[in-house]
Structure 1
Amino acid sequence: MMLTSVLFDLDGTLLDTVDDFMAIIDAMLQEHGKPMANPALVRSQVSDGSVGMLCAAFAMRPDGAGFDDLREDFLRRYTQQLAVHTRPFPGIMDLLDWLDAEGLPWGVVTNKMSRFSIPLIEAMGLAERCGSLICPDQVTHGKPHAEPVLKACAELGVEPGDCVFVGDHLRDIQSGNAAGTATVAALYGYIPAGDDPASWQATHSINNATELRFWLEARRVKETLHV
């Protein structure tokens, strides 16, 4: 493998978005006369989007009475408050600086709709640096299908076999593996309760972004020595 690029999942891998979700959910719970949500429970459902988080926080099923209205209210609020508390995970900005300095393009492959992902990336000041942003409404098949990863590689102008895809959910690893990239499991992310990342068949796993940089740097050194 000749390392040429890196792709990231968005929520739980590149950006720590859960505090914005929690602020909105807790405000909604308060308005409905319900107790505050368990942060750990909501965090474990972030990868399942608004449906998963709201079902956990309100102890409801998605086919329950009033759920659709609840979800619309959440999405409306999130549109207005999607970058209040969100921050890059520790070490991410240093990692992106290193990638830019090395001339390694990077991008994002997410299951977050573009109407949220695009303004979020812009609000974080990353839009000009992100070489590709692939959202589910831009492809026929979202993760865990290979299509979004292959589309991102095409936009970056790189071969999938020379790319690394980093994510905190099984479907990220499945998508990367299906596309032929190396895959890295981000153990610091929003791992669903009961999931065992060791069973995901990722190429590598990391506990933080600094570990990822060390791993990528080691691959670059091996390439140099090989040449």
Structure 2
Amino acid sequence: MTPPYKAVLFDLDGTLADTAPDLAAALNRMRLERGMDALPLAQLRPMASHGARGLIQVGFERSPDDPEYPVLRDEFLRNYANSICVHTRLFPGVGEILEHLGSRALPWGIVTNKVSNLTLQLLANLPMPGVPACVVSGDTTARPKPSPDPLLHAATLLELPASDCIYIGDDLRDMQAAHAAGMDAAAAAYGYCGHREPRRWGARYVLDEPLEFLQLGLV
């Protein structure tokens, strides 16, 4: 596919929205209730795209195969659901991208590994210009990213070939999913992955700031 693209798909955490403050708060509430010190946001931020699994690993050194993990995960998810959009905001510049897409009547959507109930709850409380044309969550298809299934499902919902879409994400599995789906990808180096790592992922584009996407003239 040669740009311009006919639709833009976004990862959610670390790409469309800065959700790390509320995710970190959910974890630190658990630590404080156990008499532990709160961890600084800077330490937890890189794990935000990995959800409960990554944050519990940092906060309690428990992996999913640990017997205590399911209890910790469920408590974390309850905490997060109760305060899901207190400090969460769109990344600076993302609103302008969405406004631009709206002005061009170009559809945009969200493809995330966040489970659907949390995705929909967050989107219902997060002010943004426009409404996504599709929302695909981590439990929408049988296999989440890095499987291509969620991106292929999103393209089907948009009634477009995958090659007509571009996917923006801040994690290696986002790039892997896009490549497997036959979709161009842009790595959001402004997200939770750090600025250096995304340049090793084979993304067609690397964005140090969201508005660079518009500067590239891709839509």
TM-score, structure 1 as length reference: 0.89
In the alignment, what sits opposite 1:88? Answer: 90
Structure showing greater radius of gyration is 1
Structure 2 unaligned segments of length 5 or more: list them.
none
Return the alpha-carbon distance in structure 2 between the equivalents of residues 219 and 89 of structure 1. Answer: 19
- Output aligned runs, 1:78-117, within 5 Å: 78-117=80-119
Specify the alignment match of 2:37 in structure 1: 35
Report Cα offsets for 1:202-225 as digits up to 9, x if no partner.
Answer: 00000111111111xx235xxxxx
- Paired residue secondary structure (1:165): strand
**Once the 2 structures are TM-superposed, how far is the Cα of residue 62 of structure 1 from its aligned partner?**
3.5
Q: Secondary structure at the match of 2:218?
A: helix
From 150, 154, 161, the counterpart of 1:148 = 150
State the aligned residue count: 217
Task: Give the share of equivalent positions with the same residue, in percent.
Answer: 35
Structure 1 residues 97 and 21, CA gap change in structure 2 (3 angstroms) = same
Unmatched runs of 5 consecutive residues or more in structure 1: 221-227
Q: Distance in 2 between matches of 1:121 and 1:89?
A: 14
Q: Distance in 2 between matches of 1:86 and 1:7?
A: 20
**Structure 1 counterpart SS, 2:214:** helix
Question: What one-letter code is carried by the residue in structure 2 that aligns with 1:211?
Answer: E
Match of 1:130 in 2: 132
**Which residue of structure 2 aligns with residue 54 of structure 1?**
56
Is 2:173 the counterpart of 1:171?
Answer: yes
Higher helix proportion (structure 1 or 2): 1
Q: Shift of the alpha carbon at 1:76?
A: 0.9
> How big is the alpha-carbon RMSD for the aligned residues of Structure 1 and Structure 2?
1.9
Counterpart CA distance in 1 for 2:82 and 2:28 is 16
Q: Give the residue type in structure 1 aligned to 2:141.
A: V
TM-score, normalisation: structure 2: 0.92
Structure 1 consecutive aligned stretches of length 4 or more whose deviation exceeds 4 Å: none
**Map of 2:20 onto structure 1:** 18
